[in-house]
C-alpha cells in the first residue's frame, strides 16, 4: 500500500524533455497550517522568510503527503544536479457555465477529437478539471493515465488523415469556447514586473537580510557613519539591480507584445470565416493565409496551398523558406513520424513571418493551429529567457562554502567574546552585543556582490568589442573553456559560395568541366534544366532572394525569374514560378520552365527536388539536387558514372563543396494535381545529370585564430552539415589537423539482416602521402602538434550517420573516439546538440561557435554558445558577436579568464579583510576595548569598498596562456594563500599588541592624546570602569588600539596589491590606473593619519600619541609583512612549474574523464585501430555502456 501511495504521489512531468520535472502531491492540513501561523508570529516573520527561501520546507511543514489525484498543492523538483524546488497550487477549471456540445453530458466526448486530453481530464457530472501552471505552461490532470498533461497543443498522435478530416473544416463554436477556457489565451504575455515586487524579491535575498541584521547591530552600537554609508551603497546597489531587471522585463514585453494582437481569418464549422484577434485562437482552429504579409501568432501546420516564410527570428538566417502542405495520406503513423525529421517543412512557426502565399485551385492557403501561447516555438524561446538553465559553476558554490567557513570562524569569535566578557562580569546586553559584533566582523557581507563586479566590467569590455551577452554569469565559465566546436560554412569559411564549375554527365560518363566565371555562357545540356529550376528562390520586392547556394547556381545560368508569372484558371489564381532564358544565356530549346511543386530542402534529408513543366509541353519533369552520396542513391545505377566516387573525392579533397543533380520524367497524365504527389514515389529511378562544384573560401581570420587556440592548448573541433571529405580538407587548410597528422575515417553501419552493426576504421587516402612527405617537418613541429598533453598525431573524422550508430551500438567506444575526434560532417541539428553534451560528459568545458539555423540547440547546450548572427534569434545563445568571424572566441576566453581571476582575487581579498579585522578586534576585546567608529569607517569604506570596485578593472592579458586559471576557489594554492596570509597577519598584529606593552612609555589606560614636545608620557586615568563602556562614543583610548589600527589598515592595502595578480591572465597592475591611484591614495591617507601629529586628527581618529621611533617600527613590521606576503604569493604560490613538480612528486593526476581516457589510450598499443572492422556484440537496440563511462559525471 505504502509503495502504491509513493508511486501515485510522484511522477515525471515532461519526461525526457529539456524541462523535465518531478512532481509530488500534497494535501494541506488545518492543524499543521495553524501551527505554522503561530510559528510565523512567534518568530517575528523569520520562519516565513525561511519558507520563502525554501519552498519545500513550507510544503513539508504545512501539508501531508498524498497521491497526486487528491493533492491541492504540488511540489516540483528539477531533475538536474541542482534539484531546485517550486511550490504550485492545484486550481480548478469550471466548464459548467459554457454551452456544451450536444451529448457531452450523457457520456459523450466533450470535444470532437476523441484522442484529446480534454476528454480524459473532465470530471463528470461536475464538469470541472484540475490544472497547474508551471513556467507559463498549463497542465491538466488526465484521469486515464493519472498524470498532468500539457494542454496548449494538438496531440502528436494525430495522423495526416485525421488532421485534414478532424480540423480541415474548422472547429464548432462550442468547441472553440471549451478550448479557450481550458488552454488559455493564445498570447505570449510577459508582464512588466511591478517595481515593488522586484524590490521585495531583491531585499529578501539572504545576502541583504544578513546585511540588515549586521547594520541593525552596528547602529545599536553607535556606528552611525559607517552604517549610513553601507545603507546608501546598498540602496544604490538594489536600485541599479531593480532598474536593470525592470528594463529587461520591459524590453522582453515589447518584443513579444506585437504578436499578441494579429488579425486572422478563422473558419468555424457553422459560422463560416470571420476576422478574429489572434489571442482567441485555440489548438485545432483552421485559419486562412490570404496573401498578405502575416507575422504568425501561433504554430500551425499547413494543410492546403504553400507559402514562403522568413524564419530569421528562430534560426538567425533571413533566408526565405518554402513551406508545403501536409499530404493527405491514409498512413496510420502519427503525422510527425510520417514526415520523419522533415516534418518542419509543413509547419509555420510562431514569430516567423509569412511573406508570400501560393493558393491552390481550392482557394486561399489554409493552416491548422498546432500550438498556442508559450507552447509555441517563440514561446519556448521566451521561456528560455525568463527561466534560464542555472549555470553549474563551482565558483558560486565555493563562494557559499567560503561564507560558511568564515561563519564558523565567526562562531569561535562569538564563544571567545562570551568567555572574555563574562569573566569580567559584564552585563548580558554587553556580552550579546559584542559577541554578535565579532561574528559579523568575520563575515564580509559583500562577497556575493563583489563576485558580480568582475563580470559586470568584463561584460562592458566585451560590449566594446561588439560581443553581447544575455547571461553574464557565463562569462566566468568562458575562462574554463578547453574545447571549442565550430560550424564550418559561414563560421570558418565565407558565408557565400562561389560557383567554380559544372561537370555534366552523359551516357554514364563525366564530360568536360565548364568553369566559372567564363566568357562563354554555359551551353544547354540536361544539367542546365536542373540548375535553372531546382531551387527555392523567390522574387520579393523585385529582387531574387533565397539560399546563397541556390542564388549562385541560378545566376551562373543567366536565366531570369518572371515575377509576373501567375497563370489564371477557372478555380482562381494558381501561383507558379516561371523561369525564362535571359539575354546573356545560351540558346535553349525551351521558351521557359514553370516550377509547379517543391519538395523543400532539409538538413535531415540532405536533398530537395522540384516538379516542373516546360512551357508549351505536357511532359512533367522532376529535378533533384543535394549531397552527392544521397542523390546518387536515388539514381538508376547505369546512369551514375563508374568513376563517380573518384571524381567526387578529387574535388572534395581540395575543399570544394560538391552538389549532385539528377532528373526524371514523370508520367502523370493530364490535369493531375502535382501537389498531391508522394515524395517517396516521385523521388526514385532518377537519371544522374552531373556535379556542381562550389568554392567555399576560408575567412582570413580563421587560421590565425585556430593557431592561437592551439597554442593555448584549447581543442578545436569542426561540426558541419557539409560533406566529410570537404570538411577534412577545410580542417587541414585551417590548421585544425596539423600537417603530418593521420586522419582516420570512422564508418559505422546499422545492422542489416543477420549482420550486426559494424564499425570500420580507415586511414584517409591523403594521410599516407602527407605522413611520408612531411616526416621531416613533423620533427620540427613536434611541439606544435602536442595539444593539451595528448599527442594529436591522429584525428578521427566521421559523419552524422556513423555518429548515430556509434551512440546506439558502440557507446563504450564513444569516449575513446571523442578524445581525438576533430571532424564531424553531415551532422543534423539534433546530433550537434548531442555531441556537445557527450563532450561535456567527458568533463570538457565546451564552447560552440555557429552562425545560424542548425546550431541553435548546440549553442544553448554548450557552456558558452557564441552566435555570429545579428538576428533576434541569437537570443537562443548566451553570446552574440556582431563581427561575423571567429575572432570573438579567443576574445571571449581572454575576458572569461580575466573575470574569473578577478573574482578569485576579490573573494581572497574580502576573506583576508574580514579576518584581518577579526584578529585586530579579537585582540582588543581581550582588554575589553574596540576600534573607534572612524577607524572602522576608513577600513571599510575608504579602503575595502574602493578596492572591491576597482580591483576588477584590470583588463585581460592579450596573449592566451597555454593553461587555464584554477576553476575552483577551494583549491590548494588558493587556500594556502589565504591561510599563510592570515598567519602573517596574526603574527604581525600579536607582535604589535605584545611589544607595545613592553615600551617604557606604555600605560594601560590613558586620558590625554596630544603630542606636545613636553608631554611624551601620559598620566594614567583613575577609574578602570570607563574602559568597559559599550557605546562607541566613549571608546577607551589605548596604545594597543593606536598600534593595531595602522597594522590592520595598511595590511588590507598590502593584500589588495599582492592579490592583484597581472600576468598570465590579466595585464600588469600598473595598467589599471584607477586601482593603482586608489591604492597610493589609501596608503597616503593612512600614513598621514598616523604621522600627522595634529590634535584634531588624533581626536577624530581616537589615537594616542606615540614616539616617532615606535611608528617607524610599525612601518618596518608592515614592510616585512609585505615582502614575505609578496614573495610567498608570487614566487611560491603562483609558480606553475613548482606546482607541477609537487603534483609529479605526489603522483597527482587530473580527475577529468577526458584525461583518464587519454592516459588509458596512451598505454593501449592497439589504439588507434587502422584498417580494421568491429561488430556489435549482438544486433539489438540495447546500448552497451562502459561502466567507467556511465558514472563519469560523479567526479
Rounded CA-CA distance 815/1186 in Å is 9
Helix residue ranges per DSSP H, 1092-1176: 1095-1101, 1108-1127, 1136-1146, 1153-1162
How many other β-carbons are positioned within 10 Å of the β-carbon of residue 663? 23
Contact in structure between 1032 and 933 (CB atoms under 8 Å): yes
3-state secondary structure at position 642: coil
CA distances from 1021 to 644, 650, 1099 (A): 107, 101, 17
Phi, psi of 529 (to 5 degrees): -55, -40
- 838's grid cell: 557527450
| Burial profile 1101-1140: b = 16 or more Cβ within 10 angstroms, e = fewer | bbbbbbeeebbebbbebbeebbebbeebbeeebeeeeebe
Locate cell 547546450: which residue?
Answer: 861
Q: What is the 3-state secondary structure (H, E, C) of 666-710?
A: ECCCCCCCHHHCCHHHHCCCEEEEEEEEEECCECCCHHHHHHHHH
Length of the chain: 1195
The yes-or-no answer on residue 8 being catalytic is no
DSSP per-residue string spanning 273-305? EEEEEGGG--TT-EEEE-SS-EE--SEEEEEES
Strand 509-510 versus strand 498-506 pairing type: antiparallel
* Contact partners, residue 1093, CB within 8 Å, separation at least 6: 1011, 1105
* Contact partners, residue 254, CB within 8 Å, separation at least 6: none
Contact in structure between 295 and 127 (CB atoms under 8 Å): no
Phi, psi of 288 (to 5 degrees): -100, 145
Locate cell 498522435: which residue?
Answer: 157
Give the angle 1002-1007-1010 at the CA atoms, nearest 5°: 80
> Closest by alpha carbon to 63, among 22, 31, 37, 23?
31
- 1119's grid cell: 614592510
> Closest by alpha carbon to 609, among 634, 591, 626?
626
DSSP per-residue string spanning 545-605? ES-HHHHHHHHTTTEEEETT-EEEETTEEEE-EEEEE-TTSPP-S-S-EEEEEEEEEETTT
CA-based radius of gyration for the chain: 36
> Closest by alpha carbon to 748, among 660, 814, 820?
814
3-state secondary structure at position 963: coil
Rounded CA-CA distance 844/1154 in Å is 7
- 1011's grid cell: 603630542
Rounded CA-CA distance 635/647 in Å is 17
How many other β-carbons are positioned within 10 Å of the β-carbon of residue 117? 23
Angle between helices 206-220 and 428-442 (to 10 degrees): 140
The one-character DSSP state at 1036 is: P
Q: Which of 113, 304, 487, 940 is catalytic?
A: 487
562 pairs with which residues across the strands?
A: 578
How many other β-carbons are positioned within 10 Å of the β-carbon of residue 107? 7
- 1141's grid cell: 613538480
Contact in structure between 306 and 536 (CB atoms under 8 Å): no
> Closest by alpha carbon to 556, among 500, 609, 596?
500
Active site residues: 487
Amino acid at each position: 500500500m505504502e509503495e502504491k501511495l509513493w508511486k501515485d504521489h510522484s511522477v515525471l512531468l515532461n519526461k525526457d524533455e529539456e524541462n523535465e520535472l518531478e512532481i509530488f502531491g500534497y494535501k494541506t492540513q488545518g492543524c499543521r497550517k495553524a501551527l505554522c501561523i503561530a510559528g510565523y508570529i512567534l518568530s517575528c516573520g523569520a520562519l516565513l522568510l525561511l519558507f520563502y527561501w525554501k519552498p519545500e520546507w513550507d510544503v513539508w511543514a504545512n501539508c501531508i503527503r498524498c497521491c497526486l489525484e487528491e493533492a491541492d498543492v504540488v511540489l516540483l523538483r528539477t531533475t538536474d544536479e541542482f534539484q531546485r524546488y517550486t511550490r504550485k497550487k492545484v486550481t480548478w477549471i469550471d466548464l459548467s457555465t459554457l454551452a456544451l456540445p450536444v451529448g457531452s453530458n450523457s457520456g459523450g466526448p466533450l470535444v470532437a477529437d476523441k484522442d484529446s486530453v480534454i476528454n480524459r481530464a473532465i470530471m463528470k457530472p461536475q464538469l470541472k478539471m484540475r490544472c497547474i501552471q508551471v513556467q507559463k505552461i498549463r497542465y491538466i490532470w488526465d484521469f486515464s493515465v493519472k498524470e498532468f498533461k500539457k494542454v496548449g497543443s494538438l496531440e502528436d498522435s494525430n495522423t495526416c488523415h485525421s488532421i485534414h478530416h478532424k480540423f480541415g473544416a474548422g472547429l464548432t463554436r462550442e468547441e472553440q469556447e471549451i478550448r479557450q477556457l481550458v488552454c488559455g489565451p493564445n498570447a505570449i504575455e510577459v508582464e512588466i514586473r511591478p517595481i515593488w515586487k522586484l524590490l521585495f524579491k531583491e531585499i529578501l535575498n539572504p545576502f541583504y537580510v544578513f546585511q540588515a541584521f549586521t547594520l541593525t547591530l552596528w547602529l545599536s552600537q553607535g556606528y552611525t557613519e559607517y552604517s549610513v554609508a553601507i545603507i546608501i551603497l546598498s540602496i544604490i546597489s538594489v536600485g541599479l539591480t531593480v532598474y536593470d531587471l525592470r528594463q529587461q522585463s520591459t524590453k522582453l514585453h515589447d518584443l513579444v507584445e506585437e504578436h499578441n494582437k494579429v488579425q486572422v481569418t478563422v473558419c468555424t464549422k457553422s459560422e463560416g470565416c470571420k476576422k478574429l484577434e489572434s489571442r482567441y485562437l485555440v489548438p485545432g482552429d483552421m485559419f486562412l493565409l490570404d496573401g498578405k504579409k502575416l507575422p504568425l501568432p501561433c504554430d500551425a501546420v499547413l494543410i492546403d496551398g504553400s507559402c514562403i516564410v522568413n524564419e530569421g527570428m528562430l534560426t538567425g538566417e533571413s533566408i526565405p523558406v518554402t513551406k508545403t502542405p501536409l499530404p493527405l495520406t491514409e498512413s496510420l503513423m502519427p503525422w510527425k513520424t510520417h514526415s520523419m525529421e522533415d516534418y518542419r517543412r509543413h509547419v509555420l512557426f510562431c514569430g516567423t513571418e509569412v511573406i508570400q502565399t501560393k493558393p491552390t485551385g481550392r482557394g486561399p492557403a489554409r493552416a491548422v493551429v498546432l500550438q498556442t501561447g508559450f507552447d509555441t516555438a517563440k514561446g519556448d524561446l521566451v521561456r528560455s529567457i525568463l527561466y534560464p538553465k542555472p549555470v553549474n559553476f563551482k565558483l558560486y558554490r565555493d563562494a557559499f562554502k567560503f561564507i560558511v567557513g568564515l561563519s564558523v570562524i565567526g562562531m569561535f569569535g562569538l564563544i571567545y567574546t562570551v568567555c572574555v566578557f563574562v569573566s569580567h562580569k559584564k552585563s548580558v546586553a554587553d556580552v550579546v552585543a559584542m559577541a554578535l559584533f565579532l561574528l559579523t566582523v568575520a563575515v564580509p557581507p559583500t562577497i556575493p556582490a563583489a563576485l558580480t563586479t568582475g563580470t559586470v566590467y568584463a561584460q562592458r569590455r566585451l560590449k566594446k568589442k561588439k560581443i553581447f551577452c544575455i547571461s553574464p554569469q557565463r562569462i566566468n565559465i568562458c575562462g574554463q573553456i578547453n574545447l571549442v566546436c565550430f560550424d564550418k560554412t559561414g563560421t570558418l569559411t565565407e558565408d557565400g559560395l562561389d560557383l567554380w564549375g559544372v561537370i555534366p554527365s552523359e551516357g554514364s560518363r563525366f564530360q568536360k568541366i565548364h568553369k566559372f566565371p567564363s566568357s562563354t555562357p554555359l551551353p544547354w545540356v540536361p544539367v542546365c534544366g536542373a540548375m535553372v529550376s531546382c531551387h527555392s528562390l523567390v522574387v520579393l520586392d523585385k529582387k531574387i532572394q533565397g539560399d546563397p547556394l541556390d542564388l549562385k547556381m541560378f545566376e551562373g545560368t543567366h536565366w531570369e525569374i518572371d515575377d509576373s508569372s501567375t497563370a489564371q484558371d477557372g478555380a482562381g489564381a494558381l501561383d507558379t514560378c516561371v523561369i525564362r532564358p535571359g539575354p546573356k544565356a545560351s540558346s535553349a530549346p525551351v521558351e521557359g520552365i514553370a516550377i509547379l511543386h517543391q519538395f523543400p530542402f532539409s538538413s535531415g534529408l540532405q536533398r530537395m527536388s522540384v516538379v516542373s513543366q516546360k512551357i508549351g509541353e505536357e511532359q512533367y519533369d522532376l529535378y533533384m539536387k543535394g549531397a552527392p552520396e544521397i542523390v546518387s542513391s536515388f539514381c538508376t545505377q547505369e546512369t551514375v558514372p563508374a568513376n563517380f566516387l573518384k571524381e567526387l573525392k578529387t574535388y572534395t579533397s581540395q575543399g570544394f563543396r560538391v552538389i549532385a543533380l539528377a532528373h526524371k520524367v514523370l508520367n502523370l497524365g493530364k490535369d493531375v494535381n502535382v501537389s498531391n504527389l508522394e515524395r517517396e514515389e516521385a523521388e526514385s529511378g532518377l537519371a544522374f545529370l552531373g556535379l556542381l562544384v562550389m568554392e567555399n573560401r576560408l575567412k582570413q581570420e580563421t587560421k590565425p585564430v585556430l593557431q592561437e587556440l592551439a597554442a593555448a592548448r584549447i581543442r578545436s573541433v569542426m561540426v558541419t552539415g557539409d560533406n566529410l571529405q570537404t570538411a577534412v580538407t577545410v580542417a587541414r587548410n585551417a590548421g585544425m589537423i596539423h600537417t603530418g597528422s593521420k586522419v582516420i575515417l570512422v564508418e559505422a553501419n546499422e545492422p542489416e539482416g543477420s549482420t550486426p552493426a559494424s564499425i570500420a576504421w580507415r586511414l584517409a587516402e591523403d594521410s599516407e602521402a602527407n605522413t611520408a612527405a612531411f616526416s621531416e617537418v613533423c620533427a620540427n613541429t613536434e611541439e606544435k602538434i602536442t595539444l593539451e598533453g595528448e599527442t594529436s598525431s591522429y584525428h578521427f573524422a566521421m559523419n552524422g550517420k556513423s555518429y548515430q550508430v556509434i551512440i546506439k551500438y558502440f557507446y563504450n567506444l564513444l569516449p575513446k573516439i571523442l578524445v581525438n575526434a576533430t571532424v564531424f560532417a553531415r551532422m543534423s541539428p539534433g546530433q550537434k546538440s548531442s555531441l556537445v553534451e557527450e563532450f561535456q560528459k567527458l568533463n570538457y568545458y565546451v564552447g560552440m561557435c555557429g552562425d545560424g539555423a542548425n546550431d541553435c540547440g548546440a549553442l544553448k547546450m554548450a557552456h558558452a554558445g557564441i552566435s555570429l548572427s545579428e538576428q533576434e534569434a541569437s537570443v537562443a545563445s548566451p553570446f552574440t558577436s556582431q563581427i561575423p568571424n571567429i575572432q570573438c572566441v579567443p576574445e571571449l576566453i581572454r575576458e572569461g579568464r580575466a573575470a574569473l581571476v578577478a573574482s578569485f582575487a576579490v573573494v581572497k581579498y574580502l576573506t583576508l579583510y574580514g579576518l584581518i579585522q577579526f584578529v585586530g578586534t579579537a585582540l582588543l576585546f581581550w582588554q575589553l576595548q574596540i576600534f573607534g567608529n572612524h577607524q572602522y569607517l576608513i577600513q571599510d569604506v575608504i579602503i575595502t569598498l574602493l578596492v572591491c570596485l576597482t580591483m576588477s578593472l584590470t583588463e585581460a592579458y592579450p596573449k592566451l596562456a597555454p593553461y587555464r586559471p584554477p576553476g575552483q576557489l577551494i583549491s590548494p594554492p588558493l587556500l594556502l594563500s589565504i591561510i599563510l596570509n592570515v598567519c602573517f597577519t596574526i603574527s604581525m598584529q600579536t607582535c604589535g599588541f605584545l611589544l607595545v606593552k613592553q615600551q617604557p612609555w606604555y600605560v594601560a589606560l590613558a586620558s590625554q592624546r596630544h603630542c606636545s614636545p613636553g608631554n611624551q608620557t601620559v598620566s594614567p586615568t583613575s577609574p578602570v570602569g570607563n574602559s568597559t563602556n559599550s557605546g562607541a562614543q566613549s571608546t577607551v583610548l589605548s596604545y594597543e588600539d593606536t598600534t593595531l589600527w595602522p597594522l590592520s589598515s595598511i595590511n588590507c592595502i598590502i593584500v589588495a596589491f599582492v592579490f592583484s595578480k597581472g600576468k598570465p591572465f590579466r595585464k600588469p597592475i600598473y595598467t589599471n590606473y584607477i586601482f593603482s591611484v586608489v591604492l597610493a591614495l589609501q596608503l597616503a591617507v593612512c600614513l598621514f593619519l598616523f604621522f600627522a601629529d595634529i590634535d584634531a586628527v588624533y581626536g577624530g581618529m581616537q589615537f594616542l600619541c606615540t614616539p616617532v621611533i615606535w611608528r617607524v617600527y610599525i612601518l618596518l613590521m608592515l614592510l616585512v609583512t609585505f615582502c614575505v606576503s609578496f614573495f610567498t604569493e608570487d614566487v611560491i604560490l603562483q609558480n606553475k612549474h613548482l606546482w607541477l613538480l609537487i603534483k609529479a612528486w605526489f603522483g597527482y593526476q587530473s580527475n577529468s574523464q577526458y584525461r583518464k581516457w587519454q592516459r588509458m589510450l596512451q598505454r593501449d598499443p592497439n589504439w588507434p585501430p587502422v584498417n580494421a572492422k568491429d561488430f556489435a556484440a549482438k544486433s539489438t537496440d540495447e546500448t552497451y555502456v562502459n561502466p567507467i563511462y556511465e558514472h563519469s559525471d560523479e567526479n
